[in-house]
Amino acid sequence: MSSHAPAATTERFLDEAQRFSAHNYKPLPVVLERGDGVWVWDVEGRKYLDMLAAYSALNQGHRHPRILEAARAQMERLTLTSRAFHNDRMGAFLRRLCDVTGFEKALPMNTGAEAVETAIKMVRKWGYQVKGVPEGRAEIIVCSNNFHGRTTTIVGFSSEAQYREGFGPFTPGFVEVAYGDAAAFEAALTDHTVGFLVEPIQGEGGVVVPPEGYLGCTREMCRERGVAFMADEIQTGLGRTGRMFCCDWEDVRPDVLIVGKALGGGVYPVSAALADAEFMDVFHPGDHGSTFGGNPLGAAVGHASLDVIVDEGLVERSARLGAWFMDQLRGIDSPHVKEVRGRGLMIGVEIHAASGPARPFCEALQDRGILAKETHHQVIRFAPPLVIEREDLAWALEHVRQVLA
């Protein structure tokens, strides 16, 4: 399987990035300059189908006209106030976000990791002030194979050695259990447990879907023991899995919902932590904040991003097309494929270790005009924008079939 050989113009951009950028990523050797809907073009003029959607940040597709128009209109008026002053866009955005999610209050931030940090601080303080855990003793249960971001606190409770190496000492107060194992979760519960931070599907971990009933079972244990169920739906939320939120598959309402990525519509970073007043009201002026969180430009973009998902039926579209695409992928007769798994348009194709890593398969797809990316070494992730047409998926499927064969 031949890897993609960059052309001359591409080489110049790659050399520039190699020289002036920190080497903290290993992207495919393609340099993109333009995008529209589900399609992107590189600096050589080659056209590709985007099957990654910026890790679910582009659920609405590249440069969605309604989101761009909202951004343009707001940029003509006001872009930033900081939270030292009110602005006329944040309240309406947060009201819309609360309407869509069913929570009483939202705290806006910018990146997903910031929203996770917000949720951690909120639940710890709730644990001390409301649950009555002794100061400094609060514990949050997390899962092995988790990915919640890249801050020092978050990588400290990762089970991935590379994410931790060289970055300690780490924040205490986190207890790791096996993902998908409700008995292990129950055994880890103590009187000091204040929260359970979980991804309804582990995206970076390899599109790992927990056993049926796991979310509902752990949610019920949290309710019984006075523990906050914290759902990280940064990748899985806002229609990606064929429900508005992945927890909806088991009718689970978390205590704390964490959203990001697609909330910014691929235009601007917008994230938020959501909860009812019992949790959110532990924050007082000066406890927590962000200069850019809730800024008018981000609020306008976030509001439009939500409207597009709802108005254009992207949740239902993800469910319908995802079920069809996954069924087709499972029908491919390939000696390389160990398993196809996922929900909606969040799909992982795991490659047998004996066939080597997943990256050469992604490089072969790139040669055929399809951009997908490996995750967790052995998994090809397919997560196109939710605006994709079935005929585009069918076109991709023929190339995927040939590459996997």
What confidence tens digit (pLDDT) does each residue in 273-296 have?
999 999 999 999 999 999 999 999
Predicted confidence (pLDDT) at residue 230 exceeds the cutoff of 50: yes
Segment 140-167 shows an average pLDDT of 96
| 36-39 LR contacts (CB < 8 Å, sep 24+) | 36/61, 36/62, 36/63, 37/61, 37/62, 37/63, 37/385, 37/387, 38/62, 38/384, 38/385, 38/387, 38/388, 38/389, 38/392
pLDDT of residue 1: 47
Q: Give this prediction's pTM.
A: 0.97
Question: E strands within 158-270?
Answer: 174-177, 193-198, 228-232, 256-259
Burial class (CB in 10 A: 0-12, 13-18, 19+), 223: exposed
Mind listing the pLDDT tens digit for each residue in 60-70?
A: 999 999 999 99
pLDDT at 6: 55
Return the structure tokens found at 147: 């990915």
Q: Which residues pair with 208 in a beta bridge?
A: 202
pLDDT attached to residue 5: 53
Tell me if residue 85 is catalytic.
Answer: no
Amino acid at position 190, single letter = T
Active-site residue, from 232, 255, 361, 382: 232
Question: 4-59, pLDDT tens digit by residue?
Answer: 555 569 999 999 999 999 999 999 999 999 999 999 999 999 999 999 999 999 99
Q: Which of 261, 292, 325, 382 is catalytic?
A: 261
Q: Is the separation of the CB atoms in 244 and 48 below 8 Å?
A: no
105 is catalytic: no
Q: Sketch out the chain's domains with CATH numbers.
A: 8-60+313-404 (3.90.1150.10), 65-311 (3.40.640.10)
Q: What is the pLDDT of residues 340-372, one digit of tens each?
A: 999 999 999 999 999 999 999 999 999 999 999
232 belongs to the catalytic site? yes
Which candidate in 147, 157, 174, 279 is catalytic? 147
Taking the C-alpha atoms of residue 362 and residue 379, their distance in angstroms, rounded to an integer, is: 10
The number of angstroms, rounded, from the C-alpha of 109 to the middle of its chain's C-alpha atoms is 15
Q: Which two tokens stand for residue 239?
A: 């229609």
